[in-house]
């Protein structure tokens, strides 16, 4: 049985003892940090969307162009992608075809920007005419934390070869996927050697399913302070995750960081 840490120990001696006895044997021994709106949100917009675009054209009647069940994904660096086959509704008709998404998430906090393009190529029967279809839509959006949505503008064009062209230009609001509320958690497992510490951590960003980013942890314990200074660096498919995190460790509880600064899913975080 591990001997209890004496409460009269002071400074670095107490901190190193805490780290030594706190080596994670179970999830309850991990150092846990909980973040989210309003101060330090990270938005994972990955999910399935129904995107309605308003089209007008000289030769075509105004109609709604709807990308049905289009999938957006965000990688560790904030790159937005997606590809597949979907139905796209054109007014009361629809065309089937392939789409490709490209873009990025940038900024952070209340200024998180989401910009992406959707290119669609398909064919079907529109207004009783068999036609091929090419659509290029460009979205310039900002995350709206109060309503858990992205809002902004769409521009672009649609070409129905046998019917004519139309322009896409309107305001648009896209609800975020269920579970994507800006919250995220860090679970850290570290051990000391001298005045340095090393280990690993997981960043868990809220979504369904949860996005998990794996990082290495390095850090040090200043000689006249209880504050541990750590650096989390992602690797592999999580290489875009970077975080500087300073804190006084409390095992088995939610820790309160004195400093957090970095980049996750393309977004800057800073307290």
Query: How far is it, in rounded angstroms, from Cα 11 to Cα 205?
Result: 33
**Residue 29: strand, helix, or coil:** helix
**Residue 21: strand, helix, or coil:** helix
Query: How far is it, in rounded angstroms, from Cα 33 to Cα 259?
Result: 12
CA torsion angle 242 246 250 256 (round to 10): -90
Question: Do 59 and 158 contact (CB within 8 A), yes or no?
Answer: no
DSSP-assigned letter for residue 208? S
> pLDDT 10s digit of each residue in the chain, 271 long?
333 322 222 233 334 444 543 433 445 457 899 999 999 999 999 999 999 999 987 567 788 999 999 999 999 999 999 999 999 999 899 999 999 999 999 999 989 999 999 999 999 999 899 999 999 999 999 999 999 999 999 999 999 998 888 999 999 999 999 999 999 999 999 888 888 999 999 999 999 999 999 999 999 987 777 888 999 999 999 999 999 999 987 766 778 898 999 999 999 999 8
Bridge partners, 191 (sequence order):
198
Closest by CA position to 136, among listed 99, 105, 106, 176 = 99
Sign of CA dihedral 36, 263, 109, 74: negative
Query: How far is it, in rounded angstroms, from Cα 267 to Cα 143?
Result: 12
pTM, 2 dp: 0.86
């Amino acid at each position: 049985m591990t001997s209890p840490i004496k409460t009269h120990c002071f400074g670095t001696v107490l901190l190193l003892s805490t780290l030594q006895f706190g080596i994670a044997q179970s999830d309850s021994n991990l150092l846990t940090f909980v973040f989210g709106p309003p101060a330090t949100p990270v938005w994972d917009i990955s999910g399935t969307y129904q995107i309605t675009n308003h089209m007008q054209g000289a030769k075509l009647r105004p109609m709604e162009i709807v990308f049905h069940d289009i999938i957006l994904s965000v990688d560790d660096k904030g790159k937005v992608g997606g590809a597949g086959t979907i139905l796209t509704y054109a007014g009361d008709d629809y065309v089937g075809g392939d789409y490709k998404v490209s873009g990025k998430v940038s900024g952070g906090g209340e200024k998180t920007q989401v910009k992406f393009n959707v290119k669609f190529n398909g064919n079907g029967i529109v207004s009783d005419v068999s036609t091929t279809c090419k659509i290029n839509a460009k979205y310039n959006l900002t995350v709206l934390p109060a309503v858990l949505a992205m809002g902004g503008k769409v521009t672009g064009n649609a070409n129905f070869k046998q019917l004519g062209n139309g322009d896409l230009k309107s305001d648009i609001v896209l609800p975020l996927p269920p579970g994507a509320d800006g919250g995220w958690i860090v679970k850290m497992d570290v051990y000391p050697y001298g005045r340095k510490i090393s280990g690993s951590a997981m960043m868990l960003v809220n979504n369904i399913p949860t996005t998990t980013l794996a990082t290495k942890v390095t850090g040090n314990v200043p000689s006249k302070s209880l504050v541990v200074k750590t650096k989390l660096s992602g690797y592999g498919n999580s290489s875009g995750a970077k975080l500087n995190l300073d804190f006084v460790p409390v095992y088995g509880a939610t820790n309160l960081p004195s400093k957090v600064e970095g980049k996750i899913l393309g977004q800057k975080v800073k307290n």
